[in-house]
Structure 1
Amino acid sequence: MPLDGLFTHAIVHEFNRLIVGGRITKVHQPYPNEIVLVVRNNGTNYPVLLSAHPTYARAQITHIPYENPQTAPNFVMFLRRYLEGSKLQKVEQIDNDRIINFYVNARDELGDIQEIRLTLEMMGRHSNLFLVRENDSRILELIKHVPADQNRVRSLIPGATYVLPPAQNLLNPFISDLSALAPMILDTPSEDWPKMIQSTYQGFSRDSAISLAEAIKQAGDPLNHAQEWLSHFESTQPTLFISDKGALSFSAFNWIQAHSSAQHFDTLGDLLDAYYIGKAERERVNQQAGSLVRVVKNELKKNKTKRKKLLATLNDAENADDLKVMGDLLITYPHLAQKGMTNVAIENYYDNNNLLTIPLDPKLNGLKNAERYFTKYRKLRTAVDFVNEQLTITDAEINYFDNIIAQLEVASPKDVEDIRLELTTGGYIRANKKNKQKPKVSKPDKFLSSDGTLIEVGKNNLQNERLSLKQADRRDIWLHVQKIPGSHVIIHDAKPSDETLIEAAKLAAYYSKARESANVPVDYLPAGKLRKPNGSKPGFVIFEGQQTLYVTPDASLISKLKTK
């Protein structure tokens, strides 16, 4: 189901159970349209994600790790002023709509207590997050400023009065009498029930309406069964459905879902983490890495073009001896080549006196044309060593940028800044002189194998280099896909079990360019045998004496072994 009003009702119920009464200890804005409130309640920290993303707007308790930007955005600085240290008084849903209010009591500049409301509207591209003063509904700040010419219905700027979006004038199923369903069910064909439900009651997505219609069809007492169906949104069984074709969907409880397998979770937050971890993370990476992808693709294109030219020069160099022969023949028989001629046929004494047609520059005589051919010959012979050297450098650059592309495909948002730092250090991106803070390299992803052994995976070259050459014990086992761009993987054990070794190899295959392949070769050996050549790119190592495993990447293994 989409995140509709019914699912929002369930989320608010979970918030009231887990975080209401807690204190907001930290406020972060790791991504442009998303805020994370860390709420401490009953000795536990709950990271609450409030997303106004145009595609993935939602509210949930999340355990997906995030990396904060080095410079805090203005909006989060404003929120910290009002929210940090405040107690979360209550969480409410507006009717059965996708709007949630979070209420706190905060102190103003004079020290007086004022009620502050954080309002999240989850409405596709119109999603927004507001900080509102409750006594006069004044908008103190909002995550997306919307000019008046883009929204004529209400004012979405700081200082304006907060007004709810236009009402749908539908019934709230949680407080309305469901008896209105009875005559409609009797008078309407069953195939039209979902549409009827959506046009009567607020907060029903198409999937939710179909599920309720199916439940009513199978019930002896439709009205009681409809009420029982609604009660599941307060007594939840968070369920992720996986269709026969691999498509994911979710619901607050295990309703009828044809041709799908079901996976259950302890909380709605855990369910949404499992559903969104691929989709939302990919979108975040695309947003952050757009400029990096353009830089890398331009560098790849430039180096591939250069490689073609170098190969063409080498091909010409292979024919350099032909130029020398033409020069020798012209200097032997200069009288045969006169000015104004475009070519001349001369007996080639290097080839049984067969006639050889030699192109000429009509502006030059025979001797000058001979000199021209000798000059070309010497240049090409001299260029061979230089061209071979340049070809080696160019091939290394192409491999390097292919590796960066592969890393961006599996990167999480926290990895993008490491890649940006690496490209900046390498001179491919201009450094931001205004930012004087020393950049930090993020930590590798951590996994626990089935027997509890720690496995770390570097997701970019800076992480790879630090993990493999600085942090790993020389007896730890290092893994990498064979001859394909990918992550460095370290098993923090000198003698891991076969099961751990295979799991680590599958992680190495998954976090590589071969993630969609089967039977992927993965090399492994003790980390102490790795060597870094002088002047090589970050993360580049050489080794010998490795052993090889063949494994097939397994996406389900990632969520199974990932540590929180």
Structure 2
Amino acid sequence: QNQIVTAAHQVSDQQSRVRPIQTGDPYVLPPAIMNTLPSRQESQSSWQERVTLVPSTLKKMLMQSYGGLSSSLVRSLLSAARLTPDQPAETLNQADWDRLFEVWQRWLLCLEKGEFFPGWAEGGYTVLDWEGIAPVADIHALLNQYYSRELNLQQFDRIQNQIRQKLRGVLDKLRQKASTFERRLDQSAQADQQRQQADLLMAYSYQWQPGVTQLTVDDFETGEPITLAIDPDKTAIQQAQRLYKQHQKLKRAKDAVMPLLAEVQAELTYLEQVEAALSQIPTYDEPADLEALNDIRNELIQQGYMTSPDYRPSERKASDEGFRQLQTPDGLPVLVGRNNRQNDLLISTVATDYDLWFHTQEIPGSHVLLRLEAGQVPSDRDLHYVADLAAYFSRARQADQVPVIYTQPRHVYKPKGARPGMVIYKHETVIWGQPRRIERQADNANPLELAQT
């Protein structure tokens, strides 16, 4: 029917008067290129005369003089000739023009012979021999790898922003709720004081006289004189009864608020653990980063904090591929969980009785597993290195010293009904980790690369 069914990119007539493209419009062939096409047979004098006909910047001159050129191609040609796109034509000497024409001819020869040189270039990929940093044999593999990374990067940024916004909103509400409960508990702390005052008023009620506004009596516990305020419209016994009622009210409020506060604090602890895991994946560097981020999102969906119409629960088997894999100075393998799912897997599936489990003490962070063989004893240097890693992959990364505990995996338990990543432990040993030691290694290299297996 010669009609556009759909288009990946809609172009309105306001955007292009030459060729608007919109769903439902009649399909029209691209307009013919009106400008002169580049030719390897054209002499340098003719080429240079054409380019310099209307003096401007080099990029504009080349693109206005010839058809079929893209901005990125022109920038690449100028860069290869050691020139800049915004450089005015009058600043070039003949040696500059000779150099630019030589690059121009090299490009046309590649087109003519169909000889291209795929490889990685600064900021992306190239098929031109002067741009490549690392050559690649298969251009299809190059394009697949490049665009897979670009798509993963876009997906990573989108999911990361979604999780950050959700966590920020939920954590702010929980912290406000916890603050409210704590204020109510502070008020409830006055309950015992009011009961003591009521007891004193009842004991010394015989001293009360009509119209008095205060009564000074001896405290039962200290024997020191204490002055009690009295409503002039009430007797001492009526004032005591009023204080008893307030005491009961505050006591009931305390009993009701304490479990609510404990529940909010437990939820805060869990979400701060999730937030700590998210902070350990600030940028996309490899597919494992996107996988770890998807695990965090899926966990939040399962816990009811996020929704997604395309979410499908999946049970992936544990493998060492997703964990951060490091080595101690003495060559012992170390696994670091990237999120709560991996943290749980380290204990439930991966760890053996010979390993050692590390975690920052009372601070959200990654679970770290030092792998050991039967009878193998780690050196103090290795223990301190793993403690540094546990501190580095925690919310206390910026601290100078961080308390870290370690114990055997059989002493780490997950309570029934506990949220992902939440465990209790016993028979632990405390060791001080210094995350800055790991951070200092990053001055010259990625700390993960320094010990990567």
Q: Fold-level match, TM-score > 0.5?
A: yes
- Offset at residue 547 of structure 1 (A): 5.0
Distance 1:220 1:292 in 2: 53
Deviation track 1:509-542 (CA, whole Å, cap 9, x = no partner) reads 6654456778777665553443323443221223
Contact 1:480/1:489, CA 8 A, preserved across alignment: yes
Contact 2:50/2:65, CA 8 A, preserved across alignment: no
Distance 2:136 2:377 in 1: 32
1:158-557 aligned at under 5 Å gives the runs 179=44, 182-183=48-49, 192-197=57-62, 199-200=64-65, 202-205=69-72, 208=76, 211-212=79-80, 214-215=82-83, 221-222=98-99, 223-228=101-106, 234-236=116-118, 238-240=120-122, 249-250=123-124, 252=126, 264=134, 266=136, 281=152, 283-288=154-159, 292-328=163-199, 331=202, 332-333=204-205, 344-350=213-219, 353=225, 355-357=227-229, 367-381=237-251, 384=254, 387-410=257-280, 412-429=289-306, 438-441=313-316, 445-446=322-323, 449=326, 456-481=335-360, 483-490=362-369, 492-494=371-373, 512-513=394-395, 526-543=408-425, 544-545=428-429, 549-550=433-434, 551-553=437-439, 554=442, 556=446
Distance 1:196 1:496 in 2: 71
Q: Name 1:244's counterpart in structure 2.
A: none
Contact 1:447/1:454, CA 8 A, preserved across alignment: no
| Counterpart AA for 1:439 | S
Contact 1:239/1:271, CA 8 A, preserved across alignment: no
Contact 1:289/1:416, CA 8 A, preserved across alignment: yes
- Offset at residue 506 of structure 1 (A): 7.7
Distance 2:157 2:387 in 1: 27
- Offset at residue 458 of structure 1 (A): 3.1
Distance 2:314 2:279 in 1: 22
Distance 1:143 1:166 in 2: 19
| Counterpart AA for 1:414 | E
1:42-61 aligned at under 5 Å gives the runs none
Distance 1:170 1:501 in 2: 70
When structure 1 is superposed on structure 2, of 464-473 and 486-495 the one drifting more is 486-495
Contact 1:288/1:416, CA 8 A, preserved across alignment: yes
- Percent of paired sites with the same residue: 25
More helix by share: 2
Count of aligned pairs:
403
Seen in structure 2, the aligned counterparts of structure 1 residues 488 and 228 have a Cα distance that, compared at 3 Å, is farther
Deviation track 1:238-259 (CA, whole Å, cap 9, x = no partner) reads 244xxxxxxxx45647979xxx
Distance 2:369 2:143 in 1: 29
- Offset at residue 465 of structure 1 (A): 0.7
| Counterpart AA for 2:48 | A
Distance 1:188 1:450 in 2: 63
Partner SS for 2:216: strand
Distance 2:79 2:197 in 1: 85
Distance 2:338 2:371 in 1: 17
Deviation track 1:478-529 (CA, whole Å, cap 9, x = no partner) reads 4445554333344555359989989977876665445677877766555344
Partner SS for 1:238: strand
Deviation track 1:95-152 (CA, whole Å, cap 9, x = no partner) reads xxxxxxxxxxxxxxxxxxxxxxxxxxxxxxxxxxxxxxxxx877666667x5979988
| Counterpart AA for 1:376 | Q
Distance 1:178 1:562 in 2: 56
Partner SS for 1:402: helix
| Counterpart AA for 1:182 | Q
- Offset at residue 215 of structure 1 (A): 5.0
| Counterpart AA for 1:193 | L
- Offset at residue 373 of structure 1 (A): 1.8
Seen in structure 2, the aligned counterparts of structure 1 residues 166 and 187 have a Cα distance that, compared at 3 Å, is closer
Seen in structure 2, the aligned counterparts of structure 1 residues 459 and 391 have a Cα distance that, compared at 3 Å, is same
Seen in structure 2, the aligned counterparts of structure 1 residues 419 and 250 have a Cα distance that, compared at 3 Å, is closer
Distance 1:173 1:561 in 2: 52
Seen in structure 2, the aligned counterparts of structure 1 residues 295 and 221 have a Cα distance that, compared at 3 Å, is closer
Distance 2:142 2:327 in 1: 21
- Offset at residue 450 of structure 1 (A): 7.1
Distance 1:284 1:558 in 2: 24
- Offset at residue 366 of structure 1 (A): 5.6
| Counterpart AA for 2:167 | V
More strand by share: 1
Distance 2:256 2:295 in 1: 34
Q: Name 1:30's counterpart in structure 2.
A: none
Contact 1:491/1:504, CA 8 A, preserved across alignment: yes
Seen in structure 2, the aligned counterparts of structure 1 residues 352 and 530 have a Cα distance that, compared at 3 Å, is closer
1:99-114 aligned at under 5 Å gives the runs none
Seen in structure 2, the aligned counterparts of structure 1 residues 327 and 521 have a Cα distance that, compared at 3 Å, is closer
Distance 1:213 1:138 in 2: 45
Tell me, which stretches of 5 or more residues in structure 1 are unaligned?
Answer: 1-135, 241-248, 257-261
1:72-151 aligned at under 5 Å gives the runs none
Contact 1:326/1:370, CA 8 A, preserved across alignment: yes
Distance 2:383 2:175 in 1: 37
| Counterpart AA for 2:105 | Q
Partner SS for 1:214: coil
Partner SS for 1:309: helix
Q: Name 1:14's counterpart in structure 2.
A: none
| Counterpart AA for 1:204 | S
- Offset at residue 401 of structure 1 (A): 0.9
Distance 2:270 2:323 in 1: 25
Deviation track 1:211-254 (CA, whole Å, cap 9, x = no partner) reads 245259775832114434787993355244xxxxxxxx456479
Distance 2:371 2:143 in 1: 30
Aligned CA-pair RMSD:
5.4
| Counterpart AA for 1:183 | E
| Counterpart AA for 1:309 | T
Partner SS for 1:347: strand
- Offset at residue 274 of structure 1 (A): 8.7
